[in-house]
Amino acid sequence: MFTGMFPRFLSSIISWRSVAVLAVIASLLQVTNVLLTRLLKQRQLTAAEAAAGEGSYGLGQRVGLKGQHAPFRRRDYHLGQKLSDDHQAVLSRIARWSVLDSTGEFRVSVGVLRGSGIEASQDEGLDGRDEQDLPESHGLTLVTQCSFARLHRLPLLAKHWQGPISIAVFALSGEVQAVVQTFHLLRQCYPGIKENVTFSLIFPLNSPTSPHLTPTSNTTPCEKIFSEIDQVNYDIKGIQYPANLLRNSARKATITPLMMVIDIDIVPSSGLHDAFVSYANEKNLFGENSGEEKTVWVVPIYEIKESAGIPKTKQDLLKMRENGTARPFYQETCLNCQRYTNYEAWEKSREGRVGYVEPLYEVLWKAVWEPFYIGRNNIPLYDERFRQFGYNRISQVCELHMAGYRFLVLDTAFAVHEGFKTAGGFHKTKDMELEKNRILFRQFREELKDKYPESSRRCY
């Protein structure tokens, strides 16, 4: 009986009027949801900014999902009381120049303190210009990144590189004052840092458990600059370390056409900067039509036993290799990550001239290879979705492969990591982070097919 009645009953209540009413209600609910979401984000942002310290500075801009700067509503932004005029000047730059990253989670301040020998105005900053509009010099910049806890590695890096360095430092919001003061102390203690190093700063909008370190005074002895810092790598109060965001930020602060991107605990061989600049001049790599537009120059990486001393030349390194105090990077923990550099072929060549570099051979990309290399500053950026541990450099090298780049391995050039990497030497959450980023990498590979539709190469 009910079978025949139900369709007639349904048709009697569903009319065009009721459909229209339902559509209006749905639209109102959608608008309400958007407004509530926007209000919630606004309150979170206000709360995060209010928690950052004491003192008042105006904000600049925010960055949209596609990296485009958009006007940002000005508000009080607290970075702390000044310790000196120089200290306040940098805090003011951070407040004026900083932008939100694409996720809206991190505030990015690019090039807030530049080396005295680098051609850019310290006082006027960018004057609204993009980094690519700064005067460009024919040179090679070392690009690196670290957390505040690893900044103590910078003096050794500056000593061995002896050329321009761009470093992006990650800190918690409560550490901003202390980090800026540390920048100044490093410049006081190390003339090479004052002349050559450009600092950028990245910190999360909301880090409620961040320590409020007391900035040390201008009279702090050089050996005690980092005495209060105690932090395990990748363990930053629940914040996911944005390594690729840091790498991209440090890259954007460079004004040279060539760069070498390394981690803070990797030390390049002495003289590498000058040797490669000489090679670049000889091969006209600084010219617009050099013929090497899609080439990167791979630098073999070794790990050496702690306290063994950093080798000065390739011959010194090979002697350490023979006595067991040096071995290829990641030999124990990720053999395929570095083996395709072909260390055996590199070690067989012993005739390279000291102070001179040139390509020794070309290698083809293979899965999960992540070499360190010298390249142009216009190569693809790092994908900032990769955080914490795993695939952050692999993904970028994979894109170079898809985009048609060649990989030439340099003779005599090398870099070292102090200490052997062992399976038990990683943080506790490493495997979980690796698996998460492995899944993201599979998605990333598929996206590259659409980004480079004409490429016959694949990242498998």
Q: Range with the lowest mean pLDDT among 48-62, 399-413, 439-453?
A: 48-62
Strands in 172-325 per DSSP E? 197-204, 258-261, 266-268, 295-299, 301-304
Average pLDDT over residues 185-213: 84
Q: Which residues contact 400 (CB under 8 A, 6 or more apart)?
A: 296, 365, 375, 379, 380, 407
First to last CA, the chain: 63
Contact 261, 143 (CB under 8 A): yes
Residue 154 corresponds to which amino acid? L
Which residues, 6 or more positions from 129, have their beta carbon under 8 angstroms from its beta carbon? none
Instruction: Tell me which of 106-110, 118-122, 164-168, 425-429 is least confident.
Output: 118-122
327 sits in which H/E element: strand 326-328
Q: CA angle at residue 186 from 246 to 168, to 5 degrees? A: 5
Higher pLDDT, 434 or 236: 434
* Amino acid 64: pLDDT: 33
Which tokens in the block code for residue 319? 């002697």
DSSP element (H, E) containing 26: helix 16-50
Cβ-in-10-Å burial (0-12, 13-18, 19+) of 302 comes to buried
Lookup: tokens for 83: 């310790």
Judge contact between 52 and 174, C-beta under 8 A. Answer: yes
Question: What's the rounded Cα separation, in Å, for the pair 434 and 368?
Answer: 12
pLDDT at 29: 53
> What is the C-alpha to C-alpha distance for residues 81 and 91, in angstroms, rounded to an integer?
9
Q: Whole-prediction pTM value? A: 0.78
CA angle 400, 403, 406 (to 5 degrees): 60
Cα–Cα distance for residue pair 227/215, rounded to 1 Å: 11
Task: Express as a percent the part of the chain with pLDDT over 70.
Answer: 71
Bigger pLDDT: 283 vs 231: 283
> Phi, psi (5° rounding) for residue 335?
-55, -45
Of 132, 125, 131, the residue nearest 90 (C-alpha): 125
Q: Which two tokens stand for residue 332?
A: 């124990």
Q: What is the pLDDT of residues 323-371, one digit of tens each?
A: 999 999 989 988 888 999 999 999 999 877 778 899 999 999 999 999 9
CB-side exposure of 12: number of CA atoms within 13 Å?
5
Once rounded to an integer, what is the mean pLDDT over residues 235-240? Answer: 71
* CB-based burial, 141-167: b 16+ in 10 Å, e otherwise: bbbbbbbbbbbbbbbebbebbbbbbbb
